[in-house]
A and B are shown apart, each in its own frame.
Chain A
């Protein structure tokens, strides 16, 4: 296992931000780290980076502790974007890359490559404050990956980007992963996580509530989504046995049910009533799982 967290706990005074978190992430893996706001994601990242010391437990990278001597191996894209507003893109990236142990010449070469790849080669000599927010984010992403880190931590990498740029960044992230980078990635956009990550963990109040591979998580969640479109009123299904949640849509109803056998019963029931234009049984989306597991904290 490349990145190991063993029984990691972090307390701030009486408040426990992260409680007994154990994770192991293999090399060249993209790991999704989810949780509602304040669930302890950023604190965990800060502990992995060595910015905060855990109150208990251990974090290792290939068996070694992570500290400033390993910083050239690590790339970090923080949630709050930050660059020197008055500095030129080139100077900025070179400065931050140098701090990660990169030589200036290599850095210039890589910077040209990345700027071209993100279709913004003309920005090299512009000041950060002159760029749009989305473009600043691209530069921020470049500073996180330019030194070819072995471990890359992305805190909300796609927030604030338009769909075209999201695709550009997603491709870059996939390529890094295929080249052997281990990536830990947090996002509130479940469809991104579903698309990119094989393994994930959902945090709630500092505790991991769901942990495992995406497929297993979906299977063990048990519930499925059932979408029915018909010309008559379907609201009577709300009270049927096995229905956990129901939501009326324009063309019919969307149900969350406890399992496949419930679907069969419902199928027979609506078939008696009349013609059904659509009857689809789906795997639950990560979004549903997230709301169910992490949403508890909102109640």
Chain B
């Protein structure tokens, strides 16, 4: 047990101290904090920066109502009546005095018509906002022309009441589903990246020890099986450290900015009232998924002799994670598809799919529990099998690195 802790701590601490780990963690933390403070950051750069648009109003009556419309839309466009000629206006735009030049006139039918001129029209936001404002204005004017009252007009544009109700008991409401979708989406991404990242790390670690031939000394002091699990736990601890750090930073920045975010993107992602069970399931399936893939990665890593071969060896595993993720993404839209239900019981897909289903649907408790049991059993089976392959694999050196080596590795540990 003592040796076990020595290896676990060594793996954990030496990885923790590597530059690449510190740098990736820092970058991720900065990105998370940045995302959470996004609106604040945008506001900071966009402060008092109203775009000035010169307007030549040939009609003399359109500018004021248009400005009203634009203010109602709450954007940062300020319209300024321009006194000079069109050519002078164009020059003023070229001299960067104004962002653009808007020419307002009437059509033959006494409805607004406009032309917009700017140095470049790459920025489509301003013209489309102007267009939107004008469209409203035109609708109003046209309505007045045919003697429609504002009430009649709003009746025309009122959306059809369309209510969706789930009949099944404790099924999620439309609003709840949308919220769950956002949260599950984000957590799925985290599981997906973490499994790929840390499983890779384990395979690399094993392959490095093997290629630098430290392995032979290590296995002469500590049994390969103990070593393999100490390593898996060590990296697991590392992953939890990294996750905890990122989530902590994320949590606090979100909390701080909660007022500014209301109604925005974060509500869409369902971060307002996070159901505790979803988080708990995310953690459970993350840890189980990690162990499943980490065990697989460790024994695949033990089969290669050179680090260069590691990618080739673990590609099938990576493909499996990607496939699981794809199905989960598809399942977000159709969580009840029978294809999704069935695949959620296949061990290598369970971590992502069962989590997706449990997060999106109101599953009876036994379903995720079956998923967890399936995962536990496959982890144990894989660990027993993997440990035997690992034990032989670490002693094998040679250039071949195919799945035939698994058989060879098993043969090495057999006592005939």
Q: A13: which B residues are within 8 A, CB to CB? A: 411
Contact of B6 among A12, A84, A95 (CB under 8 A): A95
Listed from nearest, the 8 A-B pairs whose CB atoms lie closest are A82-B213, A99-B221, A53-B415, A82-B214, A78-B216, A80-B213, A55-B416, A49-B220
Q: A55: which B residues are within 8 A, CB to CB? A: 415-416
Of the listed stretches A68-76, A198-206, A219-227, A282-290, chain B binds A68-76
Task: Give a binary string over A82-116; 1 marks a CB under 8 Å from any B CB, 0 the rest.
Answer: 11110100010001101111000000000000000
Residues of B within 8 A of A (CB): 2-3, 6-7, 10, 14, 208-209, 212-223, 226, 395, 397, 411-413, 415-416
Task: Give a binary string over A55-76; 1 marks a CB under 8 Å from any B CB, 0 the rest.
Answer: 1000000000000100100101
Count CB-based A-B contacts (< 8 Å): 70
Residues of A195-217 contacting chain B, CB below 8 A: none
Contact indicator A71/B6 (Cβ below 8 Å): no
Contact indicator A99/B222 (Cβ below 8 Å): yes
Question: Bound complex: CA of A202 vs CA of B218, how far in Å?
Answer: 28
Q: Besides the contacts A80-B216, A83-B212, what 9 more A-B pairs have beta carbons closer than 8 Å?
A: A12-B412, A50-B220, A52-B395, A53-B413, A55-B415, A87-B14, A96-B218, A96-B221, A101-B2
Question: Bound complex: CA of A84 vs CA of B14, how far in Å?
Answer: 11
A44 within 8 A of B: no
Question: Bound complex: CA of A74 vs CA of B219, how far in Å?
Answer: 12
Contact indicator A84/B212 (Cβ below 8 Å): yes
Q: B221: which A residues are within 8 A, CB to CB? A: 68, 71, 96, 99-100
Contact indicator B14/A12 (Cβ below 8 Å): no
A143 within 8 A of B: yes
A11 within 8 A of B: yes
Q: By CB atoms of chain B within 10 A, which of A55, A87, A91, A96 has the most?
A: A96
Question: Bound complex: CA of A53 vs CA of B392, how far in Å?
Answer: 11
Q: By CB atoms of chain A within 10 A, which of B6, B397, B412, B416 has the most?
A: B416
Contact indicator B217/A143 (Cβ below 8 Å): yes
Cβ of B7 to closest chain A Cβ, rounded Å: 7
Closest to B413 in A: A53
Contact indicator A82/B216 (Cβ below 8 Å): yes
Question: Bound complex: CA of A270 vs CA of B7, how far in Å?
Answer: 71
Question: Bound complex: CA of A175 vs CA of B397, how far in Å?
Answer: 34
Q: A117: which B residues are within 8 A, CB to CB? A: none
Q: A100: which B residues are within 8 A, CB to CB? A: 221
Q: A96: which B residues are within 8 A, CB to CB? A: 217-218, 221
Q: B212: which A residues are within 8 A, CB to CB? A: 82-85
Q: B415: which A residues are within 8 A, CB to CB? A: 53-55
Contact indicator B395/A71 (Cβ below 8 Å): no
Cβ of A247 to closest chain B Cβ, rounded Å: 38
A7 within 8 A of B: no
Contact indicator A83/B220 (Cβ below 8 Å): no
27 contacts between A and B (CB under 8 A): A12-B412, A50-B220, A51-B395, A52-B412, A53-B415, A54-B415, A55-B416, A68-B222, A71-B221, A76-B220, A78-B217, A80-B213, A80-B216, A82-B212, A82-B213, A82-B215, A82-B216, A83-B212, A84-B212, A87-B14, A91-B14, A95-B10, A96-B217, A96-B218, A98-B6, A99-B7, A101-B2
Contact indicator B416/A51 (Cβ below 8 Å): no
Closest to B222 in A: A99
Closest to B2 in A: A101
Cβ of B205 to closest chain A Cβ, rounded Å: 11
Contact indicator B223/A76 (Cβ below 8 Å): no
A46 within 8 A of B: yes
Cβ of A88 to closest chain B Cβ, rounded Å: 11
Question: Bound complex: CA of A13 vs CA of B220, how far in Å?
Answer: 23
Q: A82: which B residues are within 8 A, CB to CB? A: 212-217
Q: A192: which B residues are within 8 A, CB to CB? A: none
Question: Bound complex: CA of A71 vs CA of B224, how far in Å?
Answer: 13
Q: A80: which B residues are within 8 A, CB to CB? A: 213, 216, 397
Question: Bound complex: CA of A91 vs CA of B14, how far in Å?
Answer: 10
Question: Bound complex: CA of A74 vs CA of B413, how far in Å?
Answer: 21
A81 within 8 A of B: yes
Question: Bound complex: CA of A12 vs CA of B337, how far in Å?
Answer: 50
Contact indicator A81/B411 (Cβ below 8 Å): no
